[in-house]
Amino acid sequence: MDLLNKLTQHTALQRLQNQVKVLGNRIADHHVSLAVTGLSKSGKTAFITSLLNQLLNARESADLPFFSVVKQGRLIGVKRDVQPDVTVARFAYEKGLENLTQTPPVWPESTAGVSQVRLLIKYRNQSKLRRLVSEFSTLTLDITDYPGEWLLDLPLLELDYQQWCEQFWQDVHDITKSRLAEPFKQAISGLDIESTPDEMQLQSISTLFSDFLLQCKAHGFQLIQPGRFVLPGELAGAPVLQFFPLTPEQLTSITNQSVFSSKETVVGLLSNRFEQYQKKVIKPFYSKHFKRFDRQIVLVDCLSALNQGAHSFNDLRKAVNWLLGSFHYGKSNILKRLFSPNIDKLMFAASKADHITPAQQHNLVLLLESIVHEARQQIQYEGVVTESTAFSAIRASKSGTAEVNGKTLQVLRGTDLNGKKITLFPGDVPSVCPDDSFWQQQGFQFPAFAPMPLEVGQQTFPHIRLDHVLEFVLGDKME
């Protein structure tokens, strides 16, 4: 018992020391909490792995010519620090590095839960005011990674069970979704929603609902809710994930509204579990991880959505703009840094720029800006500095030229996921959100490249514009 008390006291002391340290750094503006945001498969894990790889090797071999602290020779060194939150998993950098450097290299595994990493970046001050205090400063950088699937749950906090049901069935009007939902619709069609609930029956229907959401994800749909149904994490098998939406017709057939508050009825139990999902899953996730961010990078995989078709691209637009409504944006000052931090700089980053030719990368940026236009206007109104770019955290192809029918074309060369060498022109990227005619005749198809092996003696991964991203997010904090 004494040992348990000592361990508990040690953990509490660590947490207190960390809070004091963060407080001091925030007063001096030497702390950045960075949110890496993106939907599933947008490249979050590869991005964080590459960012750590570049920074940890920045003194010796990093290729970061546009990151001013490196360009000016002011960077002293970077190291990992103690895990910022002892209750959150450590970001699996070593595992990602192992995957990318094995023979043949493979991509790091996708994010399956919340993880964090802390870096200490020591540099020589450029600011005369800071140099009066000390020649050197250390910036503390906390990076939080979380599954894209879980992010989309945050807007559900604004809905009650009946509103969620109505919203769900409006979305299922899509032809493909309606077809995929048939087994689930048949299962609930004969359900007596005012009867005493049968736990095994509800569990069986919940499984069909989860299967439907997983099939939607496999078909390229982006707006999948509730997110924990496709990536449950530690909640796998828990009753809090055993609910589903009833049809508007079933809800309007109810004559006694008191059944909604009674767990002795099917509809009451489903409504209660939806509320418990909000209270015990979404709210703690939001409260713990989304209220202390200073800077944000939103990764958007426009290319995969273009590949999948109009339904995927339109879902991507809706999902990205929905996501941006879940964060706190606004100008920062010392009081906000201490007590209620706002995100004051936001970068929209179109990932996988190495999957298109260099001539098409400007169009990719314009397409991204077209996707986020509405949300960006509101964010800028709050005084937030924003920027858009197309980048690749780990470049997996090389560009070149080839003669095709007597014409010289830019092409990409790389290796596909089966180990086959390929050379191709993936097609043109639209510069605005496409209209219906684009989907009828579009000739765009980007490949899935495998990572390139590092050359002998090479310590950092090749990239496209990762240094621009670092300069935008961190450059003003290291002057």
Co-location of 269 and 367 in the same domain: no
Domain that holds residue 138: 28-150+288-397+456-478
Co-location of 146 and 159 in the same domain: no
Question: What are the per-10-residue average pLDDT scores of the chain (479 residues)?
Answer: 53 50 49 89 93 91 88 94 86 95 93 90 88 88 88 88 94 90 94 91 96 94 92 91 94 80 89 96 85 87 90 90 75 46 88 93 96 85 90 95 83 92 89 87 78 90 96 93
What is the pLDDT, as a whole number, of residue 27? 42
Co-location of 301 and 378 in the same domain: yes
Co-location of 296 and 390 in the same domain: yes
Co-location of 217 and 298 in the same domain: no
Co-location of 282 and 308 in the same domain: no
Co-location of 37 and 143 in the same domain: yes
| Residue 96 within a domain | yes
What is the pLDDT, as a whole number, of residue 129? 77
Co-location of 52 and 100 in the same domain: yes
Co-location of 276 and 189 in the same domain: yes
| Residue 350 within a domain | yes
What is the pLDDT, as a whole number, of residue 127? 80
| Residue 371 within a domain | yes
| Residue 437 within a domain | no
- Residue ending a domain, choose from 226, 254, 286: 286
| Residue 70 within a domain | yes
Co-location of 85 and 210 in the same domain: no
- Residue ending a domain, choose from 286, 313, 331: 286
Those residues with Cβ within 8 angstroms of residue 312's Cβ, 6 or more apart along the chain or in another chain? 219, 220, 221, 222, 304, 305
What is the pLDDT, as a whole number, of residue 9? 55
| Residue 254 within a domain | yes
- Residue ending a domain, choose from 286, 309, 338: 286
What is the pLDDT, as a whole number, of residue 331? 61
What is the pLDDT, as a whole number, of residue 330? 65
What is the pLDDT, as a whole number, of residue 340? 53
- Could you give the number of structural domains in the chain? 2
Co-location of 113 and 161 in the same domain: no
Co-location of 240 and 95 in the same domain: no
CATH of the domain at 70: 3.40.50.300
What is the pLDDT, as a whole number, of residue 261? 78
